[in-house]
Amino acid sequence: MKFSNEQIKSLQLPSIDVIEYEKPDIAYRKVLMYSVLIFAFVLLVGYFVVGYFAEKLLTLPILMIVMLTWSILTGLAIIFTVKSYDNLGYALRDKDILSKSGVFFKSIVIVPFNRVQHSEIEQGPIERLFGLAELTLFTAGGDDETISGLSFDKAQMLKNYITAKVAADEEE
Amino acid sequence: MKKNDGEFSVPTRQSYVAIIMILFKTINIVFRQLIPVLVVILLGGSEKFDYILWVISVIALLSMIYAIVNFFRTYFYIQDDELVMHTGVFSHKKTIIPLERIQSVNFEQNIVHQIFDVLKLNIDTAGTEKNEFQFQAIDAQKAKRLREIIMAGKKVSTGIALNTFDENQPNKSAYKEILSLGFTDLLKIGLTENHIRSGGLIFVFFLWIYQNLQEAGLDVDEYSEEIPEWEWGINSIVLIVFVFLMISILISLGRTVIKYFDLQFLRFDNGFKIVSGIFTKKEVSAQDHKIQFISWSDNLLRKIIGYKNLKLHQTKASKANKSQLIQIPGCKAHHIQDVVDTIFDNKDINEIEVERVSFFYFKRFAMIWTGILTIVGLILLWFELYNQMWILTGLVIMMIIGRFLSYRKIAYGHDGQLLVLKGGIFGDKNTILPLYKVQTVKIYETPFLRKKSLCTLILRTASGQITIPYLPSESGRNLGDFILYKIESTHRKWM
């Protein structure tokens, strides 16, 4: 559908397709990988704990198959994580913020500043280790938009920028 | 305002009637959970009957204690323009809501409330917090004074004159009736419900009970031994379908009458209101600015008699609170036109040009489900489960036909102000959304969609999301750009 409507034909609408996205901090890739590794490790420990009670699980052929599967799955998860890092991005515009994500199922979410109700900076334990943080924008639309992998200063800066924009909008 | 504050500045409890209400509610919840267990035990043999009586007495006693403790641990007061509420039976919880953040105070009265002259009170708060507060029973006069104080507090702090509800507006003439449903209307609405769906639900329910009984070690077939060998011919299937349809019709008739009894759909100066209910008189209001979008739909049967089901989707104060949806069954085309004219300033909706979505919306679905059917069907064949295979095949064929019909109906378009989305399977569904009410825009692509240069556009509003599937990538992006332009260039508040 082309916008043949007279009212807007003359207007050059800014397009979301020509945006250059900023990448999350490179350390965020490590955060993602560590999260995967920790999860995989917890699974493995869980298996051994169960194995302690059901000794059959720890016999050699079964153990080898399990370890092999575990390594392959963990490897795949890490590859996927790296890929998903490559596909993350956000972009600030004058009046809204864009955030893209997804390896196979890609999505772009655009949050206009004049719809933001409030924003929050959060730091998980692994993120804190790397000095990273994530910024969540709350709108009345329910699903909240989170921009991950920002350095703490950057998150603070973004939050201030957005808060200022929201306030400016409310004044008008 | 200050003068009235005094009454609520001291901790106030609910009316003693609340104990009965909480008790009733608790027992109701507990028993609903226990029904399958009880059915199983009762059928299992009578020697366990004493045991059941014991369990019931203990549950009743515990519920009683719970209700009383709950009553004494629930109280509220107003302090410094804030409503402070203490709740929690096992843990203590203190909640503070600034009066200006309270969206609305709603009353509900069922038959027990009416006898004791008390009201059930719901307090909705603004924002994304999922808080909603409920007091089971508060003395009617007290509740009304509380609402006045809260609304007055709002007025002072926001400077906006709020439309309070009818108790505060003595003259009924402020209301204009758009539609009221008589008994025959209710009958027609009940008869034209989607019986295939409700019949299916009942069928699933029976299957579930049957399985529960079997799991409990009860051989259901044993009881049916006396019944002569059942011929699974076409006759019995017709009979079963007929019985389920009849049950479904009766249930939906009953439900419709109870839910929509004496329904009145009213217009006041800047909003709509519905009053309905047989045992419980229920009132829901929606001010124009709180309505995010509207939709109406019918089904095959209703299409014939020209009835549509109108929904006004207004800002949800909380996810738990679905009662804010205003639903009016039995609307004729001119009623809808009335509402559309009122909210959208006499726009002619039919003049908005619409475009269909991609044929892949159907084709992709059909291919995926044919694939699933083939694989699962082969497995079922392997295990010689012929009946299951036929049922599965039938279901998948129905789904694919449904998707095709839906594909033929889905269309979207806009005129620069309003977005129109059409849909439906046998009936028609229409949704109208003012573009500036959108909160966030999402463009979604699967690998398949990307390959075909298609995308799915998801528009989130403060009252749920609207999805336009399988539209050309470029159109989706243009529409997204345009909606953003609309949101960002107007200062019209979405609420």
Q: ipTM value of the model?
A: 0.87
Q: Among A2, A104, A110, whose Cβ lies nearest the Cβ of B447?
A: A104
* pLDDT value for B484: 93
Q: State the pTM of this model.
A: 0.72
Chain A stretch 32-61, residues whose beta carbon is closer than 8 A to a beta carbon of chain B: none
Nearest chain B Cα distance for residue A47, angstroms: 30
- pLDDT tens-place values along chain B, 495 residues long: 344 456 788 888 888 888 888 888 888 887 777 777 777 766 666 566 677 778 788 888 888 888 888 888 888 888 877 888 888 777 777 777 777 777 777 787 777 888 888 888 877 766 544 456 778 888 888 888 888 887 776 554 433 333 334 444 444 557 888 888 888 888 888 888 877 777 777 777 777 777 677 666 655 555 555 555 555 566 777 787 788 788 888 888 888 888 888 899 989 888 888 888 877 777 888 888 889 999 999 988 898 888 999 999 988 655 545 556 788 998 999 999 989 998 988 778 888 999 999 999 999 999 999 999 999 999 999 998 888 888 889 989 999 999 999 999 999 999 989 999 999 998 999 999 999 999 999 999 999 999 999 999 999 998 889 999 999 999 999 999 999 999 988 877 887
Which residue of chain A has the CA closest to B411? A1
B261-264 contacts, C-beta under 8 A, 24 or more apart: B261/B186, B262/B180, B262/B181, B263/B179, B263/B180, B263/B181, B263/B328, B263/B329, B263/B330, B264/B177, B264/B179, B264/B180, B264/B181
CA B92 vs. chain centroid, Å, equals: 31
Residues of A with CB below 8 A from B484's CB? 16, 95-96, 110, 112
* pLDDT value for A53: 86
Q: Among B440, B446, B478, whose Cβ lies nearest the Cβ of A145?
A: B440
Q: Do A169 and B491 touch (CB under 8 A)?
A: yes
Structure tokens at B62: 């515990």
Nearest chain B Cα distance for residue A15, angstroms: 6
Residues of A with CB below 8 A from B129's CB? none
Chain A stretch 127-156, residues whose beta carbon is closer than 8 A to a beta carbon of chain B: 138-145
Question: Do B475 and A140 touch, CB atoms closer than 8 A?
Answer: no
* pLDDT value for B481: 92
Nearest chain A Cα distance for residue B19, angstroms: 35
B352 touches chain A (CB under 8 A): no
Of A148, A162, A152, A166, nearest to A32 by C-alpha is: A148
Nearest chain A Cα distance for residue B51, angstroms: 37
**C-alpha dist (Å) from residue A25 to A30, A121, A144, A155, B383:** 10, 16, 21, 11, 54
Question: Do A140 and B315 touch, CB atoms closer than 8 A?
Answer: yes
